[in-house]
């Protein structure tokens, strides 16, 4: 029997549909080209045993099962009988596979969906249906694909508030490495992407496989290798006991899991994720955004905000966002959440004077919300104490003087939809910043664990609001980067990458968050000269060069800036606008630069490219390693010139003084002479193909 093969962009997924059970995954990795055909399966079958799409002990898989559950404590092992396979695939173009299976004795039916897009990214999800009379309790249902024995190293990420996406590496030995999240949101410490690769893999070299759970609630990512040899990567929703109980005819569908492979390091795997998101939801031009939070906090004096807007417009900023503090009782962060009415005492004429002034200056207007949260000191909770996500007999532990609204409760959902819809309509909002500032503790909805229902309700609320206001843009913020995943990105236009605007920390945060999120969807702002999180003071040029490579914005009290600072900021804003067609459409490349004191990265299109060398600390070596530029066409000839102000440096090579022309082969292999930059400076340069 010939295998069922999905292939695109150098990637192949090979399914063995022989036998009566679920298809077995014989290969996920490089396109096998001419080897495809009837003779392929016997060759692959003689290698490491292949698990089926949903592995179980009946398939000789003795690791984590793909499905776990019970019927009121009773257990009947599931052995799937394949009912049908529907496939639409063309060599080199990807395709889809849908597999339906059942186990009459267990009283369950299963549908497995796989798709490979034109960029070679594989997405997978399962739908489980209970067809028996008794309830079935779903304890876990995950998506997994195998990786070969040569994947001997794992990379995942951890972090905390204001320092997200900290990498950690280890050997991929036998057993399970599991990253489990029970915070009710994606989490500051969420891995985002779990990577397996050949030992020593980097951004530009080595073979890597990676998985991402596209889900904004509790979730898990895991890597497992059995003593018999098979290994796999898996991901899915993490369910609490009793959270999903299927009555007769009811179904549970997993979130999408995203699988990516690359034969050329992390950049190749990352590019597939970026391409998929860009194709699924293309975005308009990303306006440079000013958020007033770190400028004014809860001080909403109209004159001060008007002056801030004037300064922003003079610097070339295109969008003004009014952050926390505009609604009733919100003079500090301990009251008012949930009371989504403009505070009449602070804004007697509503927000119209500010919104009209902002628009006369040529800027868009946006507003901050935190819809899923409520303060106990609020009119809403005094009127509806039963709307909290928890048990009425015992309030969940507070965080940030907040509780969580039960969005799966129809009355709470209807209230939020009406308030959001009304305010977006009244002020013709272009943009909302949707925040989520605490982990969810002891969530109970209708007597059962509530994160699953809460996450789905949040998705419904976002979807309905966008349906009513198709041009509205939404930013997902969650104490910074605590809700960054492809589930929320399917419904929003960008994520707030971190609450830290410290450019030195941001260099690493954006570098690693960018594996999952393309630049145009990563909020990246020029912070104040003295960062309010870390206390570090950094020069404007370094702060701006860091913000340049994302969805650029400003979070700084411009009324306190000097005329010289405002003029310099305007230069950087203008530079971002000029380079935006490259930065927000090209392929992100990150050099495996040998100097650990500096980062070299860029964004490349066929005809243009933009790169930055960020000098983080002092160099140890006297001689600087050359700047070998990845991602260029070796046969192309490029003109290289500095973009933006020249940084402070002990030495600048000749090419920084005027354009030079070199081939892509020379730039990639030999590189450019490196400047001797001082710590906390960056050099931005651009290339144009001639």
pLDDT 10s digits, 121-178:
999 999 999 999 999 999 999 999 999 999 999 999 999 999 999 999 999 999 999 9
pLDDT (tens digit, 9 = 90+) per residue, 329-355? 999 999 999 999 999 999 999 999 999
Is 212 inside any structural domain?
Answer: yes
CA neighbor of 193 nearest in space, from 161, 226, 160, 169? 169
Distance CA 278, CA 515 (A): 14
- 620 pLDDT above the threshold of 90: no
Q: What is the mean pLDDT of the chain?
A: 96
Give the residues across from 195 on adjacent strands: 155, 210
Residues 616, 513 share a domain: no
Is 96 inside any structural domain?
Answer: yes
DSSP characters over 660-688: EEEEHHHHHHT-BPPPEEPTTEEEEEEEE
CATH number for the domain harbouring residue 304: 3.20.20.70
- 220 pLDDT above the threshold of 90: yes
Please identify, among 581, 603, 629, the residue that sits at the C-terminal boundary of a domain.
581
What angle in degrees, to the nearest 10, is found between the helix axes of 563-583 and 302-314? 60
CA neighbor of 553 nearest in space, from 473, 472, 496, 614? 496
State how far the alpha carbon of 568 is from the alpha carbons of 563, 574, 578, 632, in Å. Answer: 9, 10, 15, 31
Distance CA 189, CA 183 (A): 10
- The full 3-state SS of 582-605, as one line of letters, equals HHCCCEEEECCCCCCCEEEEEEEC
Task: Tell me phi and psi for residue 143, to 5 degrees.
Answer: -110, 135
Residues 107, 70 share a domain: yes
Is 460 inside any structural domain?
Answer: no
On whether the CB atoms of residues 552 and 521 are closer than 8 A, the answer is no
Residues 649, 557 share a domain: no
pLDDT at residue 8 in the model: 97
Is 343 inside any structural domain?
Answer: yes
Pairing of strands 364-369, 431-434: parallel
Please identify, among 236, 256, 280, the residue that sits at the C-terminal boundary of a domain.
280
Residues 265, 315 share a domain: no
| Number of domains, the chain | 3
Domain range holding 490? Answer: 290-374+399-438+470-581
Tokens of 577: 């606008």
pLDDT (tens digit, 9 = 90+) per residue, 12-64? 999 999 999 999 999 999 998 865 556 676 666 666 668 999 999 988 899 99
- Among the listed residues 59, 267, 499, 502, the single catalytic one is 499
The pTM (predicted TM-score) of the whole model is: 0.97
On whether the CB atoms of residues 153 and 144 are closer than 8 A, the answer is no
Distance CA 569, CA 244 (A): 52
Residues 525, 639 share a domain: no
505 flagged as catalytic? no
Q: How many residues does the chain have?
A: 690
Tokens of 103: 């186990």
Distance CA 576, CA 582 (A): 10
For 187, what's the count of Cα atoms within 13 Å in the CB-facing half-sphere?
Answer: 23
Residues 672, 549 share a domain: no
Is 220 inside any structural domain?
Answer: yes
CATH number for the domain harbouring residue 609: 2.60.40.1180
Residues 621, 510 share a domain: no
State how far the alpha carbon of 639 is from the alpha carbons of 212, 428, 585, 600, 657, in Å. Answer: 38, 45, 20, 18, 13
Place of tokens 């007999």: 393
31 flagged as catalytic? no
pLDDT at residue 37 in the model: 58
Tokens of 98: 């849908």
For 658, what's the count of Cα atoms within 13 Å in the CB-facing half-sphere?
Answer: 0
- 643 pLDDT above the threshold of 80: yes
Distance CA 313, CA 297 (A): 20
CATH number for the domain harbouring residue 178: 2.70.98.60
CA neighbor of 421 nearest in space, from 477, 468, 367? 468
User: E-assigned strands of 395-452?
Assistant: 403-404, 431-434, 444-445, 448-449
pLDDT at residue 229 in the model: 83
Distance CA 37, CA 178 (A): 36
- Among the listed residues 31, 275, 435, 493, the single catalytic one is 435
pLDDT (tens digit, 9 = 90+) per residue, 312-326? 999 999 999 999 999
Helices (H), 23-111: 40-45
On whether the CB atoms of residues 217 and 455 are closer than 8 A, the answer is yes
Summarize the confidence of residues 481-509 as an average pLDDT. Answer: 98
Residues 247, 312 share a domain: no
Please identify, among 539, 561, 581, the residue that sits at the C-terminal boundary of a domain.
581
- 368 pLDDT above the threshold of 70: yes
Residues 617, 577 share a domain: no
pLDDT at residue 207 in the model: 98
Residues 406, 271 share a domain: no
pLDDT at residue 650 in the model: 81
Residues 113, 222 share a domain: yes
Is 446 inside any structural domain?
Answer: no
Is 380 inside any structural domain?
Answer: no
On whether the CB atoms of residues 130 and 248 are closer than 8 A, the answer is yes
pLDDT at residue 41 in the model: 67
* Strand ordering across the sheet containing 4-8: 4-8, 11-16, 24-30
Classify 448 as helix, strand or coil.
strand
On whether the CB atoms of residues 472 and 429 are closer than 8 A, the answer is yes
Distance CA 511, CA 476 (A): 19
- 231 pLDDT above the threshold of 80: yes
Is 187 inside any structural domain?
Answer: yes
Residues 605, 573 share a domain: no
């Amino acid at each position: 029997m010939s295998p069922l093969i999905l292939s695109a962009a150098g990637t192949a997924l090979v399914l063995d549909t022989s036998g009566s059970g679920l298809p077995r995954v014989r290969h996920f990795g490089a396109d096998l080209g001419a080897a495809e055909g009837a003779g392929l399966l016997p060759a692959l079958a003689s290698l490491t045993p292949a698990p089926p799409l949903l592995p179980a002990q009946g398939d000789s898989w003795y690791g984590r099962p793909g499905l776990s559950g019970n019927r009121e404590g009773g257990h009947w092992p599931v052995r799937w009988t394949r009912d049908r396979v529907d496939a639409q695939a063309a060599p080199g173009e990807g395709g889809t596979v849908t597999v339906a299976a059942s186990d009459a004795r267990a009283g369950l039916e299963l549908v497995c969906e796989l798709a490979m897009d034109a960029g070679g990214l594989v997405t997978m999800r399962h739908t489980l249906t209970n067809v028996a009379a008794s309830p079935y309790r779903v304890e876990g249902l995950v998506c997994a694909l195998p990786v070969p024995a040569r994947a001997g190293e794992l990379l995942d990420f951890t972090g905390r508030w204001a320092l997200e996406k900290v990498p950690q590496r280890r050997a991929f030995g036998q057993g399970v490495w599991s990253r489990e999240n029970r915070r009710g949101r994606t989490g500051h410490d969420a891995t985002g992407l779990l990577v397996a690769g050949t030992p020593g893999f980097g951004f530009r070299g080595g073979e890597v496989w990676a998985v991402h759970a596209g889900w904004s609630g509790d979730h898990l990512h895991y890597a497992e290798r059995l003593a018999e040899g098979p290994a796999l990567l898996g991901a899915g929703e993490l369910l609490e006991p009793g959270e999903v109980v299927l009555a007769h005819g009811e179904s549970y569908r997993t979130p999408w899991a995203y699988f990516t492979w690359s034969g050329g390091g992390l950049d190749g795997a990352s590019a597939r994720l970026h391409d998929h998101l860009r194709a699924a939801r293309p975005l308009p031009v990303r306006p440079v955004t000013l958020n007033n939070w770190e400028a004014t906090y809860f001080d909403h004096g109209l004159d001060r905000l008007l002056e801030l807007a004037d300064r922003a417009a003079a610097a070339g900023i295109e969008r003004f966002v009014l952050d926390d503090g505009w609604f009733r009782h919100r003079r500090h962060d301990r009251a008012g959440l949930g009371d989504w009415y403009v505070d009449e005492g602070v804004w007697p004429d509503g927000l119209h004077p500010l919104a009209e002034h902002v628009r006369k200056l040529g800027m868009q207007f946006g507003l901050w919300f935190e819809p899923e949260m409520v303060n106990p000191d609020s009119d809403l909770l005094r009127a509806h104490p039963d709307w909290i996500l928890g048990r009425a007999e015992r309030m969940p532990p507070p965080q940030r003087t907040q509780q969580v609204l039960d969005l799966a409760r129809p009355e709470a959902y209807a209230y939020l939809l009406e308030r959001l819809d009304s305010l977006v309509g009244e002020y013709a909002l272009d943009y909302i910043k949707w925040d989520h500032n605490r982990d969810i503790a002891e969530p109970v909805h209708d007597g059962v664990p509530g994160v699953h229902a809460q996450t789905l309700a949040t998705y419904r609320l976002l979807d309905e609001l966008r349906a009513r206001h198709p041009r509205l843009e939404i930013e997902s913020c969650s104490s910074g980067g605590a809700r960054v995943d492809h589930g929320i990105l399917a419904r929003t236009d960008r994520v707030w990458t971190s609450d830290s605007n410290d450019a030195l920390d941001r260099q690493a945060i954006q570098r690693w968050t960018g594996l999952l999120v393309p630049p145009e969807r990563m909020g990246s702002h020029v912070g104040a000269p003295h960062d309010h999180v870390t206390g570090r003071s950094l020069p404007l040029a370094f702060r701006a060069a860091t913000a340049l490579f994302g969805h650029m914005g400003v979070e700084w009290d411009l009324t306190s800036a000097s005329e010289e600072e405002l003029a310099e900021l305007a230069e950087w804003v203008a530079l971002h606008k000029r380079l935006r067609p490259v930065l927000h459409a090209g392929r992100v490349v990150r050099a495996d630069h040998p100097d650990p004191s500096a980062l070299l990265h860029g964004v490349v299109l066929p005809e243009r490219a933009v790169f930055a060398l960020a000098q983080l600390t002092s160099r140890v070596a006297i001689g600087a390693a050359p700047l070998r530029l990845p991602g260029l066409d070796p046969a192309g000839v490029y003109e290289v010139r500095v973009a933006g102000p020249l940084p402070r440096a002990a030495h600048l090579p000749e090419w920084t003084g005027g354009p030079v022309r070199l081939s892509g082969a020379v730039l990639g292999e030999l590189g450019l002479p490196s400047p001797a930059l001082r710590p906390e400076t960056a050099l931005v340069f651009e290339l144009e193909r001639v």
